[in-house]
Amino acid sequence: MQRRSQLVGGPLGATGLVVLGLTAQEAGASIAVLLFPSAGPLGMVTFRLVFSALILLAIARPSWRGRSVRAWATVVAFGAVLATMNGLFYLSIERIPLGAAVTIEVLGPLALSVIAARRASAWLWAALAAIGVVLLGQGSFGHLDPVGVMLAAAAGAAWIFYILLSARTGAAFPRLDGLAIAMTFGAVIILPFGIATAGSALVRPDLLLLGAAVALLSSAIPYALELVALRRLPASTFAVLMSLAPAIATIAGLVLLGQSFTWVGAIAVALVVTASIGAVRSAPRGGASATPAPAP
């Protein structure tokens, strides 16, 4: 009995928590895709950020007083990046398959890892990722909409700023306070766009319920599981596990959305995942990219 408890509470159990969190995250994205005809991408982002903010505010109960101007500037910028990153990502998965979008998006933190490593060997991982991206364009997920590809790439660029601002916010605010406040600002920023595109759909009871489910699956549950896992796993191991996101997204797209891909697509995703893992392991410990943030 004691051995079983140690197994569940040790690295193997923590690994399962991370994988479960990634699975929930991509399941939430899949539900969002199914709801695009009713609420649109920005409407679903609005649901996700608003409900995520409400959940985090209830859990963290952050203090809004006694903050420096610099801390406020950081958390507001973090909120703006949250809104931008999620908006770009949801707009991309309206146009291209989920697995392709996440594979392209993860190139952002991968590039940060390569740059932070400051080692010639790290550029080998960049080259491997480049080969994977070239294969993505060979019809491996069907014809990829160029605008969707650009949106996913832009979301990846925003992910870099997310990682950097997440670290600064964590240093300026205790516990989950910074994330809760930033998520609130992100929700406020995206709300006008959601209202403009989704209109009255934002107050439909059925969509409100499903929007709350997307927020739980895509944000609340993954963040909670990752926080628990990080208490049991080294940051470097956690970062490697997070690099599995493109593979899990591809499987979620296949199972939940019926999005097909060829063996070339499987190789492309495998190359990017391998490059991401290699880049993370090459990065200096304690660097900005040591622990990549969860995908949107």
pTM attached to this predicted model: 0.83
**Predicted confidence band of residue 282 (pLDDT cuts 50, 70, 90):** low
Q: Is the pLDDT of residue 183 over 50?
A: yes
Q: Domain locations in the chain?
A: 2-282
C-beta of residue 269 within 8 angstroms of C-beta of residue 250: yes
d(CA 272, CA 113): 13
Query: How high is the pLDDT of residue 160?
Result: 86
Q: Is the pLDDT of residue 242 over 90?
A: no
Maximal C-alpha separation, the chain: 56
Query: What's 292's DSSP letter?
Result: P
Interval 102-161: pLDDT, tens = 888 888 877 777 776 667 677 777 787 778 777 776 665 667 888 999 999 999 999 888
Query: How high is the pLDDT of residue 8?
Result: 44
Query: How high is the pLDDT of residue 142?
Result: 64
pLDDT, average across residues 57-64:
87
Interval 185-240: pLDDT, tens = 999 999 999 999 998 889 999 999 999 999 999 888 887 787 777 677 776 677 77
Q: What are phi and psi of 140, to 5 degrees?
A: -70, -25
d(CA 142, CA 130): 19
